[in-house]
Every structure is written in C-alpha cells, then in structure tokens.
C-alpha cells in the first residue's frame, strides 16, 4: 500500500473516490478533506465487517490523498470503502472485486462484453454466439446455476433476488468474462 498527499485548493467539499472500479489487481482510493481532522479509512465486506484498515485514527492536514489498495489482497466480492472524518462525518463508496484477468486471452472482448439488462427481474442476454457455459455464483463463490447452451437469452427466474457473478466460458473452456449482476424480485 502506498500513500501520497497533495494540497488542492479547488475542492469545496470532502470527497472520496475509487478508480478503477471494479477492481482486478489494484485500485487507487482518492480522498480530499477540507480541514485537518482525525481520519480512519477502512475496507468493509458486504456484511459490514472490517477486512482491512488502511488508516487508523490519524490526524491529517487538509488536502488531497491517494492510497493504493492492492486488489489481490481481497477475495472476489462486494466491498465498501469507508472514510471516517472526525467523529461526525463519514463517506463511503461501493466497490466490486472481480477475478483477475490473468489467463484470459482476449482482454478486448472482456472490456466490450455486456450482460444485460443489469439489474434484471427475469432474463439476461449474453451476446456471444455459439455454445457457451454460464456459471452463476453468489458473492461468496457458491455455484447457484450452471448451464451449457447456444442460446443468448438465459432465464434467472429460478434464482432469488441478490447479487451474483455471471461467468461465461466458450466451448473450448476459455473464460470469456465475469460480470456482477443484480437480480431483483
């Protein structure tokens, strides 16, 4: 983890951002504080439990800060970045940790792939022609559904509302993409 500070006079409010998001290998947490204060910066899992503390009760002068968060230290899932400023103010950002793209042969295909609609109530469309294996896992990695089909529209009616990862592999067992999707009632 690296940490850097820069003074910026153009900000008019405390702020927090994370880029890139979703996370694969690493991401930068950027925050700005208007005035000197005690700062705590934590990463929480989807249950609200702290999985990592990046800054603990440290007095920082006003300014702009960047922290490198190594994504390989996080399991695949949904996280919250929580910035506590003093005892009365907090900012948070929702982030997603995707599996590393190591071993995937066509990164451009992953960047352009879109499983839609997202969120969905019933069906998803996976715009890949030909046979493919589709694996639906919950955010803990438990397989909920697995099918091999040549169809591009897949029913999710048999899955409860929640957040899931959809992993699509071609018939040569090459992973094409993994995408987070929200299933609504």
- Angle ∠(59,63,68) on CA atoms, nearest 5: 80
Q: Which residues are registered as beta bridge partners of 3?
A: 67
All domains in the chain, ordered by first residue? 3-97 (2.60.40.1930), 107-183 (2.60.40.3080)
Q: Quick: pLDDT tens for 95-124.
A: 878 765 443 334 444 444 567 887 888 988
- Tell me the backbone φ, ψ of residue 69, rounded to 5 degrees: -105, 110
Q: How far apart are CA 137 and CA 77, in angstroms?
A: 11
Give the strands of the sheet with 77-85, arranged side by side.
50-60, 37-45, 77-85, 89-97
CA of 143: how far to CAs of 1, 95, 164, in Å?
32, 22, 10
- What local confidence, expressed as pLDDT, does residue 4 receive? 52
Per residue in 143-159, pLDDT (tens digit) is 899 899 988 899 999 99
Pick the more confident residue, 54 or 89: 54
If one compares 162 and 30, the residue with the highest pLDDT of the two is 30
| Residue 185: both structure tokens together | 């009632």
More confident residue, 174 or 118: 118
Mean pLDDT of 128-149: 84
Is 164:144 a contact under the CB 8 Å cutoff?
yes
Q: How many CA atoms lie within 13 A of 144 on its CB side?
A: 20
Counted residue by residue, the chain has a size of 185
The CA distance from 66 to 143, in Å, is 36
Task: Give the global pTM.
Answer: 0.53
What distance lies between CA 154 and its chain's CA centroid?
23
């Amino acid at each position: 983890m690296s940490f850097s500070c820069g003074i910026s006079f153009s900000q008019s409010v405390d702020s927090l951002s994370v880029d890139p998001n979703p996370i694969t290998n690493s991401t930068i947490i950027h925050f700005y504080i208007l005035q000197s204060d005690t700062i705590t910066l934590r990463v929480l899992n989807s249950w609200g439990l702290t999985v990592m503390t990046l800054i603990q009760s440290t007095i920082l002068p006003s300014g702009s800060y960047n922290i490198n968060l190594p994504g390989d230290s996080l399991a695949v899932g949904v996280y919250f970045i929580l910035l506590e400023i003093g005892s009365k103010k907090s900012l948070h950002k929702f982030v997603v940790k995707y599996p590393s793209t190591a071993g995937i042969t066509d990164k451009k295909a992953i960047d352009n792939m879109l499983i839609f609609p997202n969120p969905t109530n019933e069906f998803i469309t996976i715009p890949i022609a030909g046979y493919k294996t589709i694996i639906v896992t919950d955010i803990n990695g438990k397989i909920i559904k697995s099918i091999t089909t040549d169809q591009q529209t897949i029913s999710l009616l048999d899955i409860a509302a929640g957040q899931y990862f959809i992993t699509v592999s071609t018939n040569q067992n090459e992973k094409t993409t993994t995408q987070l999707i929200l299933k609504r009632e």
